[in-house]
């Protein structure tokens, strides 16, 4: 009888000790399990108007023998302002040793993010035991991915006065403002699409390098080049009155790597880069050449002036 009483007392004492440890503050409790999370792709590259998705695999590992499932919640604790990240399932239930792949959608909410800069998205996955979770905590799982934006190319050409007039054998200059609306450093090469008749021309400089447009800035980066024309003339005294159309072409090439998804990872693609990161811009001008051309006109004026001086000196002597 005494032996039986001692056994009951020991069991009761162990129960009291266990209950006191279980009912102690959560900060002092042991982890009964852990959440784990891992993305299937990182880094991830998005196009200018594109969106994408990846899979976040979430699993639950129990440290002690138990039957109870956990209530899982996915939270995004860090994300760049230009990106929207949306898990297809934010909360769900997992059994011990079970894992689930959750689709995570990625979408740009700003179109002029500078290419080449990777930023971090951080996930936090928490778990709570459905029965008795108040006193049995689960270690939080964390995961992060790197997200970048692929380069795109877009430029504009602006000419303040696209119509100008001049006389034969004169120089005429058109200032050309090249603006970079793209999200990467861009090299722009200027040329004329056709020879402008008998007009001579110089483009200076023929090649420009423009930094990317700053995100959120309404003013793009810009540089100014010039197209200088020399109007035609004849070999004898002649009268000119004609228009010449001029077409300027600007070929812009983005100096950035373009990534495409190959299976479960991204690779640099040269083929698709040619389609996306090259842009052709055009501008047209009109130049009018009107007036008389006299060969050696300046020399004739000089001889005339010398003759006039000689006549004046002769009259003074007389």
Rounded mean pLDDT of 194-211? 94
- What's the pTM? 0.74
Residue 152: exposure state from Cβ atoms within 10 A (0-12, 13-18, ≥19): buried
User: Closest Cα to residue 58, out of 26, 85, 87?
Assistant: 87
Domains 21-149 and 155-300 share a fold: yes
Residue 235 has a pLDDT of: 64
Residue written as token pair 């054998």:
169
Q: Give Cβ neighbours of residue 291 (< 8 Å, ≥ 6 apart).
A: 167, 168, 239, 240
Residue with tokens 């970079």: 180
Q: What is the per-residue pLDDT for 17? A: 35
Q: What are phi and psi of 216, to 5 degrees?
A: 80, -5
**Which sequence spans correspond to the domains of the chain?**
21-149, 155-300
* Region of poorest pLDDT, from 12-21, 55-64, 148-157: 12-21
CB 278 within 8 A of CB 152: no
The topology under which CATH files domain 155-300 is Immunoglobulin-like (2.60.40)
pLDDT at residue 133 in the model: 54
Asked if pLDDT for residue 15 goes beyond 50, the answer is: no
Q: Does domain 21-149 correspond to CATH entry 2.10.50.10?
A: no
Higher per-residue pLDDT: 270 or 213: 213
d(CA 141, CA 137): 13
Higher model confidence: residue 17 or residue 84? 84
Tokens representing residue 9 in the block: 């007392």
Q: What would the mean pLDDT of 207-234 be, rounded to a whole number?
A: 91
**Using one digit for the tens of pLDDT, what is the confidence trace for 95-115?**
988 999 999 999 999 888 999
Sign of the Cα torsion 42, 48, 53, 56 reads: positive
Q: Using alpha carbons, select from 227, 187, 181 the residue that is nearest to residue 210.
A: 187
Contact 240, 289 (CB under 8 A): yes
Which token pair is 159?
A: 């000419």
**131 pLDDT above the threshold of 80:** no
Beta strands per DSSP E along 9-50:
31-39, 44-46
pLDDT for residue 72 is more than 90:
yes
pLDDT tier at 6, thresholds 50, 70, 90 = very low
**Whether the predicted pLDDT of 126 surpasses 50:** yes
Nearest-angstrom CA–CA distance, 8 and 49: 72
């Amino acid at each position: 009888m005494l032996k039986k009483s001692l056994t009951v007392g020991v069991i009761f004492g162990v129960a009291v000790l266990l209950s006191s440890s279980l009912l102690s503050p959560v900060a002092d409790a042991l982890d009964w399990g852990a959440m784990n999370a891992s993305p299937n792709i990182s880094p991830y590259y998005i196009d200018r108007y594109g969106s994408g998705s990846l899979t976040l695999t979430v699993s639950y590992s129990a440290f002690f023998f138990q039957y109870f499932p956990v209530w899982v919640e996915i939270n995004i604790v860090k994300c760049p302002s230009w990106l929207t990240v949306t898990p297809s399932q934010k909360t769900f239930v997992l059994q011990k040793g079970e894992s689930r792949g959750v689709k995570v959608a990625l979408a740009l909410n700003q179109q002029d993010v500078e290419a080449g800069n990777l930023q971090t998205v951080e996930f936090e996955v928490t778990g709570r035991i459905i029965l008795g979770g108040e006193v049995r905590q689960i270690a939080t799982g964390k995961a992060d991915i790197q997200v970048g934006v692929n380069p795109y190319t877009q430029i504009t050409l602006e000419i303040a006065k696209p119509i100008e007039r001049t006389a034969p054998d004169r120089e005429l200059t058109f200032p050309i403002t090249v603006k970079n609306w793209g999200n990467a450093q861009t090299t722009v090469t200027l040329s004329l699409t056709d020879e402008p008749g008998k007009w001579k021309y110089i483009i200076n400089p023929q090649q420009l390098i423009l930094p990317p447009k700053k995100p959120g800035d309404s003013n793009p980066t810009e540089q100014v080049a010039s197209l200088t024309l020399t109007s035609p003339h004849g070999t004898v005294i002649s009268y000119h009155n004609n228009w010449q159309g001029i077409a300027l072409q600007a070929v812009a090439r983005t100096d950035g790597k373009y990534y495409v998804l190959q299976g479960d990872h991204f690779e640099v693609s040269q083929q698709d880069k040619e389609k996306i990161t090259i842009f052709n811009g055009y501008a047209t001008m009109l130049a009018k050449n009107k007036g008389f051309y006299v060969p050696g006109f300046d020399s004739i004026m000089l001889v005339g002036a010398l003759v006039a001086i000689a006549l004046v000196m002769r009259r003074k002597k007389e």
